Structures are given as C-alpha cells and as structure tokens.
A = this chain, B = another copy of it.
Amino acid sequence: MDRSSPVPLYYQLSQQLEAAIEQGRLAPGSLLGNEIDLAARLGLSRPTVRQAIQSLVDKGLLVRRRGVGTQVLHSQVRRPLELSSLYDDLEAAGQHPATRVLHHATEPATARVAAALGVPEGSEVLFVERLRLAHGEPMAHLRNHLPVGLIDADPARLEETGLYRLIRAAGITLHSARQTVGARAATPEEGARLAEPEGAPLLTMERTTYDDTGRAVEFGSHVYRASRYSFEFQLLVRP
C-alpha cells in the first residue's frame, strides 16, 4: 500500500487482489480471510478493505457469504461484457482490422433515426457508412448516424480507427447502450458487399449509445457475416 500515491487505497488493494487471483496466487475456491484481520494487517480501515472487495465482487471475481467468508470464484467465470467496438474486438483478436468509408455526409434524419437519437425528424444528422475488413476480407457493413458536430468525423480518421475511439477522443463519456441482435437473409446487394451469396444468413445489430447525460450519441445499424462473426458476452446476475 502506497499512501503517497494519488491512486486510492481501495483501488490499489483491489488491483493487487485481482492480480493475485489472475496469477493463481489466490486459488479458486479459497477463502480470502476475514475483513477485519485483512484491514489490520494492511493498516487500513475495514470500510476501505470492504470497498476493495466489493469492487471485485461487482466484477464477478469474488463471492461473499455471510457467516462463511469471501471466496475466490472458480476461474471459468470471468469478466462481464463491456461496450465493445468491432474494431477493438478484431484488433484484440489479432485480425488486423481495416475500414473503408463508403459514404460520409450530413442528411435529414428519418423518423427512425430521429427517434433513436432524440432529434427532430428531418433535422440534419451525420451519416457514416463503412465496410469493416479483417485480413482484407469483408466482415461487416456498418451504418451509423450521429448528431452533427459531435465528433470530428474526418474520413481519413475513420479509416484509421474505430468510431468509438473518435467519440471518446471528443471528450464524451459513454454510459450505456441499448442493443438488438437478430438475423436475416442477405439481399443481393448485401451479398455483393460482404462476399456472401444471396440468402446467406447475416447477423444484424442495432445499437443506440448514450453518454452520461442520457443524450444519444450514436445510432448504428450493422450487418455481420454470420459465417465470420458471432457475439460473445458474459452476464452477471444481479444479486
């Protein structure tokens, strides 16, 4: 514990505990030892130790049981879903993502886009249409609508990185997103774009993303090749 650091004590502790769990120094199923002793041993107060432990409970790494103790969860259970971007997913998987910007302009909002973004129908919104490639192969067709003036959506920057990075770089704090995932058969145009035959199954996702004021910052309608992509995520049950 480093009291001179600006990093909060509870956060230092939670990071140390998390590292110990990841590295197996705290075995799955083992008990953490009671909070009072732990606090005394570390020279911290019990609430501070509890805050550290609680953050790992929220992450799904620990379970507390009254009268029993705090236990390390067996390791198949890992961290929950984060608001991910396809670009980051591909990059993390070592797939060398690339983006081709097909279209990029402001246009009047359709009823659906206006409803999603919470702007008047017909008002100008930014529309970006992109093709996402991995290893040079098309993976997904991405259509996004954003309020005008929100980001610097220079096509060159859009080809270099993901939309979410641009949004975050504009100082916007993302808060939540509402997603719908479905499937449908490819139209001839979609098939041509994604190198799939007509009628091939496609995964579809619609997503509206909100910042921490509750304002919609992005509405996306995305189509993925089902043969190349699936969504994987982890849910935690609220206690």
Contacts and interface: CB of A to CB of B under 8 A. Distances in A.
Given A232-B178, A234-B176, A77 B183 contact: no
A175 B73 contact: yes
Interface string A39-71: 000000001000000000010100100000001
Contacts of A233: 178-179, 181
A126 to B, nearest CB: 19
A184 interface: yes
A33 interface: no
Given A82-B237, A176-B236, A234-B176, A216 B182 contact: no
Nearest to A71: B213
B226 A182 contact: yes
A225 to B, nearest CB: 9
A158 to B, nearest CB: 21
B210 A185 contact: no
A214 B77 contact: yes
A120 interface: no
A44 B28 CA distance: 38
A154 to B, nearest CB: 25
A80 B208 CA distance: 13
A163 to B, nearest CB: 15
A108 interface: no
Given A185-B201, A214-B29, A214-B73, A180 B235 contact: no
A77 B118 CA distance: 12
Contact of A234 (B71, B174, B179, B199): B179
A175 to B, nearest CB: 6
Nearest to A234: B178
Interface string A200-228: 11111000101011111000000000100
20 contacts: A29-B213, A74-B213, A77-B175, A77-B178, A77-B210, A80-B176, A82-B238, A83-B235, A83-B237, A176-B234, A176-B237, A177-B235, A178-B235, A180-B231, A181-B181, A181-B232, A182-B229, A183-B203, A184-B226, A201-B201
